[in-house]
Amino acid sequence: MTATATDLKFDAAGFEAFIASRTEPDWLIALRREAFEHFQSMEWPARRAEEWIRSDLRLFQLDKFRVPLTQSDTPSGEGLLSEGVELGGRILTVDSHCRAESLRESLAAQGVIFGSLERLASEQPELVREHLFSAVDPDYDRFAALHAAFWSGGQFVYIPRGVVVAEPLHLATLLGEGSVDLSHTLIVLEEGAEATVLHEANSVQRDAGGLSLGALEIIQRPGSHLRYVSLQDQGYKTFQFAHQHAIVDRDASIQWTLAAMGNGFAKVNQSVALVGPGADSQVNGVMFTEGRQHIAYHTLQHHVAPHCHSDFLYKSAQQDQSRTVWRGMIKVDKAAQKTDGYQRNDNLILSSRARADSIPGLEIEADDVRCTHGSTTAQVDEEQVFYAECRGFTRNEAVRMIVTGFFQQIFDRITIESVRDALGQTIARQVREYA
Amino acid sequence: MSHVLKIENLQVSVGDKPILRGVNLTMNHGETHALMGPNGSGKSTLGLAIMGHPGYTVTGGSILLDGEDVLEMAPNERARAGIFMAFQRPMAIPGVKMADFLRHATTNVRRPDRKEGEDLIPMREFRKELKEKMSHLRMDPEFARRYVNDGFSGGEMKRAEILQLAMLQPKFAILDETDSGLDADAVRLASESIADIGGREKMGLLIITHHDKLLEHNPPQYTHVMLGGRIVETGGKDLAEELHRSGYDRIRKAYPDAEAANQEMIAEEAAV
């Protein structure tokens, strides 16, 4: 708790002190108050609830965490995703407070808005108000309500109509030992806009604790194109509860690449809603867990409009006693004829005590669609290892190679070199010695 | 330099079932040996035991390479010591390109003391050599970019094994039915390549085969016949020709004990 010099809990007194500390527009305060009321009247998810039956919440105690009221003194470093990349702008967030922000002048001149969401909620109230919580539902569950009440810092990325941002925009989020992050990320691409956003979340050290209660909203107008990359590498004792949703309109496309490497316990709801004909979405997910990590992803590809395409591929490797849960759903509304939907989750279990739950699902109301889904769970094949050993590979080299190969399909889909490199490094670091 | 691979009274079990019941075989560098025998006689087991497959337990006997105890070595150490096997059924490794796999393998075999993480053969140098070997084997350069044995046809797999043999230049190579699954032209090409490699690099070759096609281009100095987990007869090139022409009836009759053991092993395998 050293990073945040406050004793405020996430209770009524804490909330009032939080509100009193802020200078925000009335509409935002009202929104927060409503969310906090909802938070107080809601229950924590029931153990038997479908989304939580595989993710035991009992180890999580909100009381252990404090409201991040002030700037912390957590030291910050450089990002992995942005290594060797010419950036269009960068926002550094430490313990839920914006510490540094920059944007190329040429982009600002074209009307690009990029900076702390907290600041921009006052400076660009119209734009923020229009989009804030338009993709994420603050009443989804108690975590969403808590986030809506207490979010702070955050990032706003706004690309005006027709503006093409060639250089990636970088969002770095850092969490101090025992600290809380409540960042809200809001990305809006107007008609025909294009951008690449690289987002990485880290802790000060690998075994750090803390709480991440973030939300991500992506709103894409017709014909816009976004590449969004998220590398989540927070400490092994951190909790993460996140809601991440994209709304993609006519002929717009999103390529969403995510790597979930960190956290002790993570529960993420991720969805893409395809709301205009011709919308296209590709999601590439990598998870690699070890120790006692528990990472749960609940994904939804929601086809609202006809003639849309969704392609979700998640690859997970589990070692030690770690566990991943992937529950995917393709939902096709009645109007969404000619839907082309694909979802797949492949798991590679590297230890007899590791576990992968993989639950693909389809919910289709239209009658002229093509939807395919699949899931595989396998262990490293001893015959593969032996074959490589017979070619001079040590057992350890053989397993590393097989694991790297397992993720290659994802790498083949990633179009940004620095992201491929960063992911490759992260995976290589993760692979244990196999004697 | 001359090398010797010496197998003495080798006994191997899978679980508690004996498969090899005392195999003796000495190979000198530069020699070609044919290993023949009916199904289930233990030919592939011998190859896998020489490589150190963890599913095969050596219960007796010895394997020495130039006097060094091979049984004490891990499979990768055997490969680095210069023993190679072309697999009957090579494994696919999805996501790993042939070129990357071979660069790593070649480095480890050529620098047996290489520790994990140390530099590999320089890319440019390796690519040049790989390209030469592939063109020699009339392989499409695209092959190097494909994932190891992933989606390969039977013939492509066998050619990939021969390419690996050519790159790794072992002292001794076991070819386990490298000709099966190949059409006549491919067998001819593979045979020529093996003869080429064997002739140029001077290996000891142990060719496990049912056919004589491979042996036409690689005439064996010795032919061994395996039955019931033992080498029951050893002869020259003529013996291979005889077996190909007339089958194993004479052998089965001449060695009734081995034939009984062979039938037992086939029955057990069928029961599994």
pLDDT digits (tens, 9 = 90+) for A190-224: 999 999 999 999 999 989 999 999 999 999 999 99
| Interface check B43 vs A, CB under 8 A | no
Contacts of A406 in chain B (CB under 8 A): 94-95
Residues of A at the B interface (Cβ-Cβ below 8 Å)? 381-384, 386-397, 401-402, 404-409
What whole-number distance in Å separates Cα of residue A280 and Cα of residue A341? 10
- The CA distance from A376 to the nearest CA of chain B, in Å, is 14
- The CATH number assigned to the domain holding B135 equals 3.40.50.300
pLDDT for the residue A3: 40
Q: Which residue of A has its CA nearest to B116?
A: A397
Nearest C-alpha of chain B: how many angstroms from A392? 4
**Which of A348, A391, A434 is most worth mutating to test chain B (most B CB atoms within 10 A of its CB)?**
A391
The pLDDT score that the predictor gives to residue B1 is 64
Residue given tokens 């396998």 in the structure block: A378
Please state the φ and ψ torsions of residue A172, each to the nearest 5 degrees: -115, 130
State the total domains in chain B. 1
> Furthest-apart CA pair in chain B: how many Å?
58
Q: What is the mean pLDDT of residues A402-427?
A: 88
Best mutation target among B44, B73, B76 (most A Cβ atoms within 10 Å) is B76
pLDDT of residue B198: 62
Token pair belonging to A258: 């995510």
- Side chain identity, residue B171: K
From first to last of the 272 residues of chain B, give the pLDDT tens digit. Answer: 689 999 999 999 999 899 999 999 999 998 999 999 998 899 999 999 999 999 999 999 999 999 999 999 999 999 999 999 999 999 999 999 999 999 999 999 999 999 988 999 999 999 999 999 998 888 899 999 999 999 998 888 988 999 999 999 999 999 998 877 777 777 777 777 777 776 655 789 999 987 777 787 788 999 999 999 999 999 999 999 899 889 999 999 999 999 999 998 888 877 76
Count other Cβ atoms within 10 Å, centred on residue A141: 22
Contact B51 A383 (CB under 8 A): no
Q: Report the pLDDT value the prediction gives residue B72, as an integer from 0 to 100.
A: 97
Higher pLDDT, A134 or B195: A134
* Predicted pLDDT of residue B196: 74
Q: Quick one: which of B186, B177, B183 has its CA closest to B211? A: B177
CB contact under 8 A, B95 and A407: yes
CB-CB under 8 Å, A390 with B93: no
The alpha helices in chain B, defined as continuous H runs, are 43-51, 75-81, 98-110, 123-136, 154-168, 184-201, 213-217, 237-246, 249-254, 256-271
A350 φ/ψ angles, rounded to the nearest 5 degrees? -105, 0
Question: Are the Cβ atoms of A391 and B96 closer than 8 angstroms?
Answer: no
Report whether B209 contacts B36 (CB < 8 A). yes
As given in the structure block, the two tokens for residue A167 are 């250089």
A158: left (phi over 0), alpha (psi -120 to 50) or beta: beta
pLDDT of residue B268: 82
Where does the pLDDT of residue A81 fall: very low under 50, low under 70, confident under 90, or very high at 90 and above?
A: confident
- Look at B53 and A386 and tell me if their CB atoms are within 8 Å: yes
Residue B48 CA to residue B42 CA, distance in Å, equals 10
SS3 B108: helix
Residue A317: its chain B contacts at CB < 8 A? none
Q: Provide the residue range defining the domain that includes B183.
A: 4-271
- CB spacing of A383 vs B108 below 8 angstroms: no
CA distance B127 to B134: 10
- Cα angle B20, B25, B26 (rounded to 5 degrees) comes to 155
CB contact under 8 A, A408 and B85: no
Q: Which residues of B touch A401 (CB under 8 A)?
A: 93, 96, 101, 104
The gap from C-alpha A125 to its chain's centroid, in whole angstroms, comes to 25
Please give the residue of chain A at the shortest CA–CA distance from B54: A386
**A275-327: pLDDT as tens digits:** 999 999 999 999 999 999 999 999 999 999 999 999 999 999 999 999 999 99
Task: Taking residues A220-238, report their average pLDDT.
Answer: 96
- Chain A residues closer than 8 Å to B101 by CB: 388, 391, 401
CB contact under 8 A, B168 and A391: yes
Q: What's the rounded Cα separation, in Å, for the pair A117 and A218? A: 14
| SS3 track for chain A | CCCCCCCCCCCHHHHHHHHHCCCCCHHHHHHHHHHHHHHHHCCCCCCCCCCCCCCCHHHCCHHHCCCCCCCCCCCCCCCCCCCCCCCCEEEEEECCEEEEEEECHHHHHCCCEEEEHHHHHHHCHHHHHHHCCCCCCCCCCHHHHHHHHHCCCCEEEEECCCCECCCCEEEEEEECCCCEECCEEEEEECCCCEEEEEEEEEECCCCCEEEECCEEEEEECCCCEEEEEEEEECCCEEEEEEEEEEEECCCCEEEEEEEECCCCEEEEEEEEEECCCCCEEEEEEEEEECCCCEEEEEEEEEECCCCCEEEEEEEEEECCCCEEEEEEEEEECCCCCCCEEEEEEEEEECCCCCEEEEEEEEEECCCCCEEEEEEEEEECCHHHHHHHHCCCCCHHHHHHHHHHHHHHHHHHHCCCHHHHHHHHHHHHHHCCCCC
Q: How confident is the model at residue A409 (pLDDT cuts 50, 70, 90)?
A: confident
Question: Percentage of chain A surpassing pLDDT 90?
Answer: 85
Residues facing A311 on adjacent strands: A282, A342
- Highest mean pLDDT, choosing among A63-67, A147-151, A397-401, B142-146: A147-151
Instruction: Tell me the per-residue pLDDT of A323-341, one tens digit each, with 9 for 90 and over.
Output: 999 999 999 999 999 999 9
pLDDT at B172: 96
Mean pLDDT of chain A: 94
Instruction: Give the DSSP letter of residue B142.
Output: G
Q: Which of B54, B93, B109 sits opposite A402 (nearest CB)?
A: B93
Supply the pLDDT for residue A1. Answer: 40
Q: Residue range A3-28: average pLDDT?
A: 88
Reported ipTM: 0.96
E strand or H helix that includes residue B95: strand B93-97
Asked if the C-beta of B79 comes within 8 angstroms of chain A's C-beta atoms, the answer is yes
Mean pLDDT, residues A85-110: 95
Give the pLDDT confidence score for residue A2 in this predicted structure: 42
What are A20-55's pLDDT values in tens digits? 999 999 999 999 999 999 999 999 999 899 999 999
Q: A381, A384, A390: which to substitute to probe chain B, counting the most B Cβ within 10 Å?
A: A390
Q: Do the Cβ atoms of A124 and A135 come closer than 8 Å?
A: no
Structure tokens, A386: 């032996």
CA distance linking residue A203 with residue A210, whole number of Å? 8
